[in-house]
Structure 1
Amino acid sequence: MRVAVIGLGSMGMGAALSLLKAPGLEAAGCDPRPGAQAEFAGAGGTAVGRAADLPQGTEAVQVLVVNAGQCEAALFGPEGAAPRLAPGAVIVNSSTIAPEEARRLAAKAGAAGFLYVDAPVSGGAVAARAGEMTVMASGSPAAMAKAKPLLDAVAKKVWRLGEEPGLGSTMKVVHQLLAGVHIAVAAEAMALGLKAGLEAQAVFDIVTTAAGNSWMFQNRMPHVLEGDETPRSAVDIFVKDLGLVGDLARSVAFPAPLAAQAHQLFVSARAQGHGGKDDAFVIRAYQALTGIRLPKD
């Protein structure tokens, strides 16, 4: 089966490399960055800079880009993948987008003769490279069946939420409420400890062996300890994703005060020039307010 991944970021690269390892799949990867292309090509994959250059007859394409606009351009824009896809191919959209955008793109895919699976993912870069992502999927039985070889290669667990596009994206937005708030509160706890005179390493070691620990604290705070601002997932991503949480909450008349507070913290870090940094460095917003010194500053 000829498959492809559009967007070779921290999650997309892992997905593409997992497809390379899967028997019976011929994998291509698309990303405009030469470094990402070189990494994937070095692993034995076909790497291209434009979706319009994917192999002709691609039967399944997984999209892992930043937002709905990028999704639409990657699939249906002037340099999009649509002309390279086989008739009846399946689009597996794993980008984090609003549910209404998932429904709109699914309708556009259907009009073009393609199947569509609304399939956001989670798990982090390590899980992606291990082929162990969690997938929150919705799509028709035909779409899910067509996507199965791809999903089996990249996922440890595929949750089926129903047939209607948008259900997967709704679940991902709910998930991002938790993810964003957990990162923000991890930063708050670490910043408070530093302000109160504790050693950062001690805060980390104790929290990660106690009841207050979270996956996000354990995963993100080592970046702060190491002073590593390389964006596995950037502050800007949670400006977007927590914005989606707010939009969804308003659309169903649901109060989401914790998500709103966390969103403002990420917006603050972005306003201070940290939008492109690893999302753990939302802690810079607390640094600006309190004058704390981070371990590697």
Structure 2
Amino acid sequence: MEIGIIGLGAMGREIARNLGAAGHTVTAWNRSGGQVEGVHMVETPAQALQADVALTMLSDDAAIRSVLLDANLLSQVRPGLVHVVASTISVAFAEELTTSHRAAGIDYAAAPVLGRPDVAAKGELNVLAAGAPTVLEKVRPVLEIISKRIWYMGEEPPTAHAAKIACNMMITMAIEAMAEAVVLTEANGLARERFFDLILNTLFGSRSYQVYSTNIINDRYEPGFKAVLGLKDLRLAHAAAEQLGRNLPMLEAVRHQMTEAVNAGGGDRDWSVMADYTIRSVE
């Protein structure tokens, strides 16, 4: 299968590499250039859309709008292309993309992913897929290569993006919950590694707790997923709640804390640096 990829950030590089290693012909465009083994780099995003399936992995709404919509690339795709947006984008923009693809007669699916670059490298992402069943069946061979499991979110692409935003919101809530628990327990003489040994083996054993408790124990926040991107996703969650006319108090609390952590200089560190901000702000 011929596969195009637009955007080769930390996640996109690993996805492209795995697709190439699986024997597909992979063509990719990246704003900042670069090379990936087994991937043919092209000079324009339009060239990456001359494929059977194209995956967009750009960072946000603005980047996708600039690259795809403002440049009118939907009028330049290969006939029969299926376009898959794997980026984390707003629900409102996903609705706009659904409309624009329908008007252009292009099959469109959403497939945002759960997992960090190390998970992507193993081909073990969780893919949240939404779109018409016939469209998803066309792209299933591609998604199976990069995933541990494909989760069907429904026929409307915005649903998958709402689910991804909600998942990231919940991860930040878990990070903040661990940070506030450390504030209480360390002040009363319990080392954080002992406390986390307790919760990981009793109440909270999920991957998010495992990964981010390790960061908090070691007081090490090397970027896996940058805090500035985490803040972007919390803004998307806030916008989605506003669109519904709803106030989500826990969301607003973690959005405030992540904003403070980024403003304190943690924007390029892992988003679990929010825990460090919370812990240190009470010392």
Q: Whole-Å Cα distance in 2 between the matches of residues 115 and 47 of structure 1?
A: 24
Q: Check if 1:44 corresponds to 2:43.
A: no
| Corresponding residue number in structure 1 for 2:53 | 60
Q: Whole-Å Cα distance in 2 between the matches of residues 47 and 190 of structure 1?
A: 47
- Kindly indicate whether the alpha-carbon contact (under 8 Å) linking 2:228 and 2:267 is maintained by their aligned counterparts in 1: yes
Question: Residue 185 and residue 6 in structure 1: after superposition, are their counterparts in 2 closer, same or farther (change >3 A)?
Answer: farther
Q: Check if 1:21 corresponds to 2:32.
A: no
Segment drifting more, 195-204 vs 141-150: 195-204
CA RMSD of aligned residues (A): 2.6
- The amino acid of 1:250's aligned partner reads E
- The amino acid of 1:184's aligned partner reads E
Question: Residue 200 and residue 81 in structure 1: after superposition, are their counterparts in 2 closer, same or farther (change >3 A)?
Answer: farther
| Corresponding residue number in structure 1 for 2:228 | 236
Q: Whole-Å Cα distance in 1 between the matches of residues 46 and 217 of structure 2?
A: 42
- Kindly indicate whether the alpha-carbon contact (under 8 Å) linking 2:219 and 2:276 is maintained by their aligned counterparts in 1: no
Q: What's the CA shift for 1:70?
A: 1.1
- Kindly indicate whether the alpha-carbon contact (under 8 Å) linking 2:120 and 2:146 is maintained by their aligned counterparts in 1: yes
- The amino acid of 2:166's aligned partner reads V
Question: Residue 286 and residue 119 in structure 1: after superposition, are their counterparts in 2 closer, same or farther (change >3 A)?
Answer: same
Q: Whole-Å Cα distance in 1 between the matches of residues 171 and 197 of structure 2?
A: 21
- Kindly indicate whether the alpha-carbon contact (under 8 Å) linking 2:21 and 2:38 is maintained by their aligned counterparts in 1: no
Question: Residue 214 and residue 142 in structure 1: after superposition, are their counterparts in 2 closer, same or farther (change >3 A)?
Answer: closer
Question: Residue 118 and residue 187 in structure 1: after superposition, are their counterparts in 2 closer, same or farther (change >3 A)?
Answer: same
Q: Whole-Å Cα distance in 1 between the matches of residues 211 and 81 of structure 2?
A: 36
Q: Whole-Å Cα distance in 2 between the matches of residues 29 and 163 of structure 1?
A: 27
Question: Residue 28 and residue 227 in structure 1: after superposition, are their counterparts in 2 closer, same or farther (change >3 A)?
Answer: farther
- Kindly indicate whether the alpha-carbon contact (under 8 Å) linking 1:238 and 1:263 is maintained by their aligned counterparts in 2: no
- Kindly indicate whether the alpha-carbon contact (under 8 Å) linking 2:230 and 2:271 is maintained by their aligned counterparts in 1: yes
Q: What's the CA shift for 1:287?
A: 4.3
Query: Which residue, 142, 156, 166 being the options, matches 1:150?
Result: 142
When the two structures are superposed, what TM-score results if normalisation uses the length of structure 2? 0.87
| Corresponding residue number in structure 2 for 1:71 | 64
2:241 counterpart SS class:
helix
| Corresponding residue number in structure 1 for 2:77 | 85
Q: Whole-Å Cα distance in 2 between the matches of residues 225 and 4 of structure 1?
A: 41
Query: Which residue, 271, 280, 292 being the options, matches 2:263?
Result: 271
Question: Residue 17 and residue 84 in structure 1: after superposition, are their counterparts in 2 closer, same or farther (change >3 A)?
Answer: farther
Q: Which string of whole-angstrom CA distances, capped at 9 and with x for unpartnered residues, describes residues 141-164 of structure 1? A: 342233222112112222222222
Segment drifting more, 197-206 vs 110-119: 197-206
Q: Whole-Å Cα distance in 2 between the matches of residues 49 and 233 of structure 1?
A: 27
- Kindly indicate whether the alpha-carbon contact (under 8 Å) linking 1:72 and 1:105 is maintained by their aligned counterparts in 2: no
- Kindly indicate whether the alpha-carbon contact (under 8 Å) linking 1:14 and 1:128 is maintained by their aligned counterparts in 2: yes
- The amino acid of 1:244's aligned partner reads L
Q: Which string of whole-angstrom CA distances, capped at 9 and with x for unpartnered residues, describes residues 29-53 of structure 1? A: 333345xx24x2xx32223575345
Runs of at least 5 residues in structure 1 that lack an aligned partner in the other structure: 292-297
1:87 counterpart SS class:
coil
Q: Whole-Å Cα distance in 2 between the matches of residues 125 and 256 of structure 1?
A: 30
Segment drifting more, 233-242 vs 189-198: 189-198
- Kindly indicate whether the alpha-carbon contact (under 8 Å) linking 1:33 and 1:49 is maintained by their aligned counterparts in 2: no
- Kindly indicate whether the alpha-carbon contact (under 8 Å) linking 2:176 and 2:278 is maintained by their aligned counterparts in 1: no
Segment drifting more, 224-233 vs 103-112: 224-233
- Kindly indicate whether the alpha-carbon contact (under 8 Å) linking 1:52 and 1:83 is maintained by their aligned counterparts in 2: no
| Corresponding residue number in structure 1 for 2:8 | 8
When the two structures are superposed, what TM-score results if normalisation uses the length of structure 1? 0.83
Identity of aligned residues (%): 25
| Corresponding residue number in structure 2 for 1:137 | 129
Q: Which string of whole-angstrom CA distances, capped at 9 and with x for unpartnered residues, describes residues 187-215 of structure 1? A: 33334444444434334434333324442
Question: Residue 258 and residue 11 in structure 1: after superposition, are their counterparts in 2 closer, same or farther (change >3 A)?
Answer: same
- Kindly indicate whether the alpha-carbon contact (under 8 Å) linking 1:182 and 1:214 is maintained by their aligned counterparts in 2: no
Q: What's the CA shift for 1:123?
A: 2.7
Runs of at least 5 residues in structure 2 that lack an aligned partner in the other structure: none
